[in-house]
Amino acid sequence: MLFSFKKLASFASLVTVLSAFSRDHAAVASPLQARAQCAATLSTAASVASRLQSQYWNGSGWGIFWTDANTIEDMYNLMLADGSSTFDVADNTRIGQLALQQDRNAWISALGGSNDDAGWVVLALWKVGDYRINRGQDASPYYNSAAIVYDLIAAEWDDSVCGGGVWWSSAHTYKNAITNELFLYTSASAYLRFGDQTYLTNAQKTWNWLKNSGMRNSQGLWNDGLTDSCANNGQTTWTYNQGVIASGLAALAKATGDSSLLSEAEITLDATISLKTVNNILKETCDSATPTSTCDNDQAMFKGIWMKHLQFYLDNAPDRASKYSSFIGAQESAVFHYATGSEWTVGNVWYAPNQGGSLFTAQTQTSGLAAHVSAAKYGPC
């Protein structure tokens, strides 16, 4: 593996430089959300995305149905940011093919009863739809399919067990954080997009349920889910659970004008920053710089989802951007300097130089992409 001089730079001094720049920038520039996105960071993101395509794209996807939904969302998030059309491949993906069919039964079959997968799919479909609108194209198959999939999830709400919540799957054996965090975010976002009161009602009932579910622990972090007796099961506080709650709460705050929801979100964002980092950089519990990381290909994508949903948090709470800008920049810098190997391959280990423990897969590549795209909008430049 080749090391550029940049990789040898002291990470601590880099963070200091970035923080100083961020302070200067904040002093002289208009609010972050109003500034142009950072061209250099977008260029890095495009290089990572190109590598994703050359190494992992098989003509219809990159590997796993739900991670593909996130990959699609990240690709279109990038193209909406940099104005390119290089990665406009959605129609060729399984998810895109289903979107074009707009057939409820085909969606039911493809989703296999996975309500969390369905939540990621809704977000991907909206992002492609947004891109189509942005380019003057027909977004209706994507938006219509998003509505079909959203309604499948909404039908999985069940008050009779643990007082509410959407089931993780149609097997009805588990209620967990991610499925309901996604339902909160998609419901509040659907209200902001389409104005239908039903969506707002769903968002509010979901937050009321989550808040009282016990899944947020005394440290402010969300554990994975509930036991059969409806208690916090104490399972891993995966990073993505700490990000998707925030995007949902900011969307609900925007929908209702209730800014106390942002404080609720930041309890968890700030707990993530203090408790789920090493050297101020996100570390999943399964990440290891030395041989070897134990993350599976689901877990390998979680940190990028945290970064993406912090971006979505700030999209609906732009006044909060200055608080998180330097942390976002530090993550992006770590992905560039520590996680990136030869030819723009990105591994799962962000927090330290890879000593052979990092995994390199389509999911780790996508996770890095999401970090760059988030930082292009809200990190220092």
Ligand X SMILES: *[C@@H]1O[C@H](CO)[C@@H](O)[C@H](O)[C@H]1NC(C)=O
Residues lying near ligand X in the complex (CB under 6 A) are found at 58, 60-63, 68, 94
Choose between 61 and 380: whose C-beta lies nearer to ligand X. Answer: 61
Burial class (CB in 10 A: 0-12, 13-18, 19+), 257: exposed
CB of 179 to ligand X, least distance (A): 21
CB of 162 to ligand X, least distance (A): 33
Choose between 21 and 65: whose C-beta lies nearer to ligand X. Answer: 65
CB of 57 to ligand X, least distance (A): 8
With vertex at residue 318, the alpha carbon angle to CA 313 and CA 324, rounded to the nearest 5 degrees, is 70
Omega before 239 within 30 of 0, i.e. cis? no
Choose between 94 and 172: whose C-beta lies nearer to ligand X. Answer: 94
Looking at the DSSP bridge assignments, the partners of residue 230 are none
CB of 341 to ligand X, least distance (A): 22
Choose between 52 and 188: whose C-beta lies nearer to ligand X. Answer: 52
Q: What is the 3-state secondary structure (H, E, C) of the chain?
A: CCCCHHHHCCHHHHHHHHHHHHHHHHHHCCCHHHCCCCHHHHHHHHHHHHHHHHHHCCCCCCCCHHHHHHHHHHHHHHHHHHCCCCCCCHHHCHHHHHHHHCCHHHHHHHHCCEHHHHHHHHHHHHHHHHHHHHCCCCCHHHHHHHHHHHHHHHCCECCCCCCCCECCECCCCCCEHHHHHHHHHHHHHHHHHHCCHHHHHHHHHHHHHHHHCCCECCCCCECCEECCCCCECCCCCCHHHHHHHHHHHHHHHHHHCCCHHHHHHHHHHHHHHHHCEECCEECCCCCCCCCCCCCCCCHHHHHHHHHHHHHHHHHHCHHHHHHHHHHHHHHHHHHHHHHECHHHCECCCCCCCCCCCCCCCHHHHHHHHHHHHHHHHHCCC
- Amino acid code (one letter) for 340: T
Choose between 60 and 109: whose C-beta lies nearer to ligand X. Answer: 60
Choose between 98 and 376: whose C-beta lies nearer to ligand X. Answer: 98
The CA distance from 177 to 236, in Å, is: 11
Closest CB to ligand X: residue number = 61
CB of 142 to ligand X, least distance (A): 18
Choose between 96 and 164: whose C-beta lies nearer to ligand X. Answer: 96
Choose between 96 and 220: whose C-beta lies nearer to ligand X. Answer: 96
Structure tokens at 96: 């895109």
Choose between 11 and 62: whose C-beta lies nearer to ligand X. Answer: 62
CB of 52 to ligand X, least distance (A): 12
CB of 269 to ligand X, least distance (A): 31
CB of 324 to ligand X, least distance (A): 32
Choose between 30 and 58: whose C-beta lies nearer to ligand X. Answer: 58
CB of 95 to ligand X, least distance (A): 9
Q: How many CB atoms sit inside 10 A of residue 312's CB?
A: 21
CB of 63 to ligand X, least distance (A): 5
